Amino acid sequence: MDKTYFQELTAYIIETNKIICVWLEQLDNNQWKQTITSSFDSIEKTTLHLVSAQLVWIDYWSNNPAPVFLSTVFNGGKAELLTIWRQSSTLLKMVIDQYPEADYSKNVRIKWGTEFYELKFWQTFAHFVNHSTYHRGQLVTMLRTAGFRSLSSTDLFNFFLQRGNYD
List residues forming the annotated binding site for a divalent metal cation: 49, 131, 135
What are the Cα distances from residue 152, in Å, to 20, 23, 159?
Answer: 10, 10, 11
The span from the CA of 12 to the CA of 62, in Å, is: 21
Q: What is the dihedral of CA 81, 86, 88, 89, to 10 degrees?
A: 140
By the 8 A CB rule, do 11 and 132 touch?
no
Residues in binding site: 49, 131, 135
